[in-house]
Every structure is written in structure tokens, then in C-alpha cells.
Amino acid sequence: MEKLSISDLHIVLVEPSDTQRKIITTLLLKEKVKEIDSVANLAEARGAIRAHGADLIISSMYFEDGTASELLTFIKENPGFESIPFMLVSSENRLNKLEELKQAGVAAILPKPFEPIHLSRALNASLDLINHDELELELFDVQEVRVLLVDDSRLARNHIRRVLEGMGLEKIVEAENGATALTLIKDDTFDLVVTDYNMPEMDGRELSEFIRFNPETSHIPIIMVTSEASDSMHMLNIQQTGVNALCDKPFEPTEVRAMLAALLGE
């Protein structure tokens, strides 16, 4: 399939402020985006997506008829729309408000105001989700790599799975928490574990400790996916458990590709 460029993108821009819509539209046009559907609320956004589809949705956080989380859920739970990348543009900085969107798999989060370079990076991150590019490995056939994906959020698992499948990984087994993952690890073999940090019953730290300190599984590379800051006390403790790599949410293909090449190419 021919790869899309930024100029090929059909973008639905969802922004309640006329002024902000004009500002963001102007910046998108400077990035060579040619097709932009601008709407002011969730009802109009759903209508535009149903009528014309989209390659990318750029959305504010709050509207008179709901929030970005509701729009993202609408996209992720509708067949045909679930793979559309979603970019949040918001002045919201409360972690608990952003966490739900990070868990659901936003392609990028931009603050208001943002610099043009940040928009360019976010557009390219979205393209990475759209354009599938198989990962080339010297020691593995990428289609035969056995991955255990562990996350208590179904939406997050779906997003991470799509990113991995876009790189050619096909053998992906899912678990909704560390306890379920342990059962799977005891019954099967895996080449890679991708796990969330915050989970019920058994979190990512406990799962990683079991994998790393069990002689039968200690060789398995572990990628920890988290929305926590990499320099937080939790993350500093996590690195001491033998996690091979920490990956921020949003789960960005370029970053993940480099991690997989390093971990599976060794």
C-alpha cells in the first residue's frame, strides 16, 4: 500500500473556539495539509467522521456536549474508525484528566499554545501509526516473534497491538493484568513482554520481578509502558527490577521501533 505523507492527510479538527480553529488550521496549512474538516462540537465531529471518515482527528479537550474522552471512545469502539489516530490539543495539565486519554491510545498530546515544531512532530507520529513499515531483524523473523501484551485497559491493548502489528509482529497474546500474564508465561514461551505499570491484582513491577528472577524466563526482554514521568521514584525503582526499556504513553511507533530493534537485535 502506498504510504501517506502529511499533504495527503484528511484531518477532522474538533475545536469549540472559532479563534483557535483558525489558528490551528493556519498552522496545518503551513504543514502542507490540504484537507481539513473543522467542527465545533462532538455531534458535528461524529457526523463528519461518519460521512467522510478521516486519516487523523485533532481535538480539544472540552465541548458543550462532552469531552475528548467520549470522542476517542466513539472512534475506538466503532469498526472502521478504530485505527484513526487521535491527537489532543489542550491546556489541561492535570495528570488524572490526561491519564484516561493516554490509556486509550492518543497519538500525541499538544499543549495550548504549542510551537509549530511540536505540531510537525505530532503529525509525523500520527503518520507512523498510519503507514505500516515492517521491522527488519537479523536474528528473528519478525512475524514469528512471540509477544505477551499486558495491560488492564482494553483500549490501550488495542492501540499497542495495532502499533506492533504495523511493524509486522503477528503472534501477540494479551493479558489484562500481571496475574493472568504469569499463568500464560508458565504455560507458553515468549520472546518479548510489553507490560503496563499500573494494573490491579499484580502490577508491572511485580510481573517484571517474577520474569527477571525466574531462571526459565530471565532472558525475556521487557518493555514497560507507563504514563508516569521517567524520573519519578516509581520509575527509578522499576529500572532496578531489570526492565529493559521504559516507554511513555502515548505509545509512539518511532520510539518503539528503536527499542525493538535494540532488544531483539541483540
pLDDT tens for 78-113 read 989 988 999 999 998 888 888 888 877 788 899 988
- Domain 6-130 matches domain 142-264 at the CATH topology level: yes
Query: What are the tens digits of pLDDT across the range 16-62?
Result: 999 999 999 999 999 999 999 999 999 999 999 999 999 999 999 99
* pLDDT given at position 266: 58
- Tell the residue number behind the cell numbers 490540504, with chain if given: 34
* pLDDT given at position 265: 76
Domain ranges of the chain: 6-130, 142-264
Q: Which CATH number fits domain 6-130: 3.20.20.370, 3.30.470.10, 3.20.20.140, 3.40.50.2300?
A: 3.40.50.2300
Q: Give yes or no for residue 232 having a pLDDT over 60.
A: no
CB within 8 A of 109, min separation 6: which ones? 87, 88, 90, 98, 101, 102, 250
Closest C-alpha to 244, from 193, 175, 173: 193
* Strands (DSSP E) found in the chain: 10-14, 35-39, 56-59, 62-63, 66-67, 86-90, 108-111, 146-150, 171-175, 192-196, 222-226, 245-248
Give the CATH H-level superfamily of domain 142-264: Response regulator (3.40.50.2300)
Q: Give yes or no for residue 235 having a pLDDT over 60.
A: no
Angle at 128 between CA 125 and CA 133, to 5 degrees: 160
* pLDDT given at position 51: 95
Q: Which cell is 140 given?
A: 528473528
Residue 1 — pLDDT band, cuts 50, 70, 90? low
β-bridge partners, 146: 171
227 versus 155: which is more confidently predicted? 155
